[in-house]
Amino acid sequence: MSLSGSQQKIFLRLVTVLRPHWHTDPSLPLRIQQEFAANRSFGSRDRKLYRELLYTTLRFLPWIEPLFDTDPTRAANCVAWLAADLPATRAYRAGTCGDWPACPPTVAAKAKHLGADPATVLPAWLPRHCPAAGLPADLDALHTRAALWLRLQTPDAAPVLAEFTSLGWPSRISRVVPGAIELLAEADITKTKAFLGGLVEVQDLGSQMILASAGIAPGGRWLDACAGAGGKSLQLATLLGPSGHIDAYDIRPSALKELQIRAQRAHLNHISLLSAAPTGLYDGVLVDAPCSGSGTWRRAPHLKWTTTPAQVTAAAATQLQLLTTYSAHVRPGGRLLYATCSLSRFENEAVVADFLATHPAFKPEAPSQNFGFIPDLATGGLTVLPARHNTDGFFVAALRRA
């Protein structure tokens, strides 16, 4: 058996193990990683190959899944054809579907070749939540691999770019957010001098747009109320400068430990980690709320098939409660920023509208930058869609307390 034939056999075996969990397990990436760890014969390139094949399967699951029952070999060949052209996949694709025409860039053209319905690659419930996601540009973007964006934590990009050049890694600097760099190569940034020295952090450009849209001035005392591992805490600390201060809080202590490591690496000493719920008033409060994650489907395609409308409704209720709770910590004249990585209007504009209806002291503010997107008139909310700037999807609304 050829190498590609053997690899296809292993892929189909992985499918057999993982398929029962495709529609139920939101932690599927961890399950995939556990499968790799259990098989010590998988090297780094093997893991990259099978991960790409599995994630491609999940991106186009309604096209592929029925074929596993009727024609597994064709299913595997379709996945190989749809997979990204990467060093880890190139030989496998040539050995399994090398006589197929080149895979076109658009979902519509892919569907035409395979005799599939392009609309089915999104959950049936999504159009009501985000009609724009089904339009060609964003539909195509949602079905490609996510970009690798970095955020500079130094005013001097030269040593960072010089190191990337020496490693043969092409990159480009964002035209819309200062200090954002897209790395145009498959690379482990965590082993670079720039990363280890705290000069750069991994942060999607769309995520960087959340704070960049708000025009945050240096100085002031802020609360990051749902800090997680702290990507936005670090960005906020950079924007506030050494004269500002951030209290970071999260109900998950393990996430704050990661933030502590990242802050030390970046030499940011004006972030305090709160071990108990915050008290007092702040010049600004960021509520980066837990959500359904539909904006992250480029890098987490399994969430398309494990997320339900009921879960979105439940997330919206939690988000409104978080806004209500943490709005009490905004001083008069201060600002409340609400953000999600969801594309659903029921987690975004609707949550802000419900909050404003019961909190008349808060008024929406237009974003200082909209990056080419049109803000919602009622809430001032800005939805970042993936196609325009090659990002994940996000939402942000800025509210001012009277």
The count of other CB atoms within 10 Å of the CB of residue 22 is 17
Distance CA 57, CA 276 (A): 42
Task: Decide: helix, strand or coil at residue 273.
Answer: strand
Q: Which two tokens stand for residue 230?
A: 């702290």
The catalytic residues are: 341
Distance CA 153, CA 197 (A): 10
- Exposed e or buried b for every residue in 125-152, given b needs 16+ CB within 10 A? ebeebbeebbeeebbbbbbebbbbbbbb
Report yes or no: 327 and 336 within 8 Å, Cβ to Cβ. Answer: yes
Closest CA to 60 of 114, 104, 98, 100: 114
Distance CA 12, CA 73 (A): 9
Count the residues in the chain: 402
Report yes or no: 213 and 207 within 8 Å, Cβ to Cβ. Answer: no
Which helix (DSSP H) or strand (DSSP E) does residue 210 occupy?
helix 205-212
Q: Looking at residue 87, what DSSP letter applies?
A: T
Q: Which two tokens stand for residue 50?
A: 């099978």
Distance CA 170, CA 99 (A): 30
Report yes or no: 194 and 200 within 8 Å, Cβ to Cβ. Answer: yes
Which helix (DSSP H) or strand (DSSP E) does residue 336 occupy?
strand 330-340
DSSP-assigned states of every residue in 15-30: HHHHGGGTTT-TTHHH
Strand partners, 247: 223, 272
Distance CA 309, CA 128 (A): 10
Strand partners, 271: 246
